[in-house]
Amino acid sequence: MHPYRSHTCGDLRESNVGEHVRLSGWVHRVRDHGGLLFIDLRDQYGLTQVVADPDSPAFAEAEKVRGEWCILIEGEVKARTAETINEGLPTGHVEIFISKLEVLGASKELPLPVFGEPDYPEDTRLKYRFLDLRRETIHGNILKRSAIIASARRRMQEIGFNEFQTPILAASSPEGARDYLVPSRIHPGKFYALPQAPQQFKQLLMISGFDKYFQIAPCFRDEDPRADRLPGEFYQLDVEMSFVTEDDVLNTMEPVIRDLFAEFADGKPVTQDFPRIPYAEALRKYGSDKPDLRIPIEMEEVSEHFRGSGFKIFARMLEEEQNEVWGIPAKTGGSRTFCDRMNSWAQSEGQPGLGYIFWRKNDDGSLEGAGPLAKNIGPERTEAIRTQLGLDAGDACFFVAGDPKKFYDFAGKARNRAGEELDLIDRDRFELCWIVDFPMYEWNDDEEKVDFCHNPFSMPKGELKGLEETDPLKLDAYQYDVVCNGFEIGSGAIRNHKIEVMKKAFEIAGYDEEVLIERFGGMYRAFQYGAPPHGGMAAGLDRIVMLLCGTPNLREITLFPMNQQAEDLLMGAPSEPTNQQLRELHLRLNLPE
Which pLDDT tens digit goes with each residue over 541-590? 999 999 999 998 999 999 999 998 899 999 999 999 999 999 999 999 99
pLDDT at 225 over 80: no
DSSP class per residue in 242-296? ES--HHHHHHHHHHHHHHHHHHHSTT--B-SS--EEEHHHHHHHHSSSS--TTS-
Q: How confident is the model at residue 518 (pLDDT cuts 50, 70, 90)?
A: confident
DSSP class per residue in 123-138? HHHHHTHHHHTTSHHH
3-state secondary structure 224-236: CCECCECCEEEEE
End-to-end CA distance of the chain: 64
The predicted model scores a pTM of: 0.93
Question: pLDDT for 27-44, tens place per residue?
Answer: 999 999 878 999 999 999
Are the C-beta atoms of residues 94 and 12 closer than 8 Å to each other? Answer: yes
pLDDT at 176 over 80: no
What whole-number distance in Å separates Cα of residue 210 and Cα of residue 175?
Answer: 24
CATH 1.10.3720.10 fits 14-105, yes or no: no
134-275+533-593 CATH? 3.30.930.10
The CATH class for the domain spanning 295-425 reads alpha beta
Contacts of 548 (CB under 8 A, 6+ apart): 144, 148, 261, 264, 265
What whole-number distance in Å separates Cα of residue 533 and Cα of residue 132?
Answer: 48
The residues facing 369 across adjacent strands are 359
Q: How confident is the model at residue 174 (pLDDT cuts 50, 70, 90)?
A: low
The residues facing 232 across adjacent strands are 221
Q: Sign of the C-alpha dihedral, residues 57, 61, 67, 69?
A: negative
Question: pLDDT for 294-351, tens place per residue?
Answer: 999 999 999 999 999 999 999 999 999 999 999 999 999 999 999 999 999 999 999 9
438, 439, 443, 444 alpha-carbon torsion, rounded to 10°: 40
Question: pLDDT for 240-273, tens place per residue?
Answer: 999 999 999 999 999 999 999 999 999 999 999 9
Q: Is 238 helix (H, G, I), strand (E, B) or coil?
A: strand
Instruction: Give the residue among 13, 79, 8 at the shortest CA–CA distance from 41.
Output: 8
Are the C-beta atoms of residues 415 and 351 closer than 8 Å to each other? Answer: no
CB atoms within 10 A of CB 189: 9
Q: How confident is the model at residue 363 (pLDDT cuts 50, 70, 90)?
A: confident
3-state secondary structure 409-422: HHHHHHHHHHHHHC
What whole-number distance in Å separates Cα of residue 124 and Cα of residue 111?
Answer: 8
What whole-number distance in Å separates Cα of residue 474 and Cα of residue 443?
Answer: 11
58 alpha-carbon distance from chain centroid? 49
Instruction: Indicate the angle between helix axes 541-548 and 136-158, nearest 10 degrees.
Output: 130
Q: Exposed, middle or buried: residue 524 (CB in 10 Å: 0-12, 13-18, 19+)?
A: middle
Instruction: Give the residue among 59, 61, 60, 69 at the shortest CA–CA distance from 28.
Output: 69
3-state secondary structure 444-512: ECCCCEEEECCCCCECECCHHHHHHHCCHHHCEECEEEEEECCEEEEEEEEECCCHHHHHHHHHHCCCC
Domain ranges of the chain: 14-105, 134-275+533-593, 295-425
- Whether omega before 574 lies within 30 degrees of 0, making that bond cis, reads yes
Are the C-beta atoms of residues 210 and 165 closer than 8 Å to each other? Answer: no
pLDDT at 25 over 70: yes
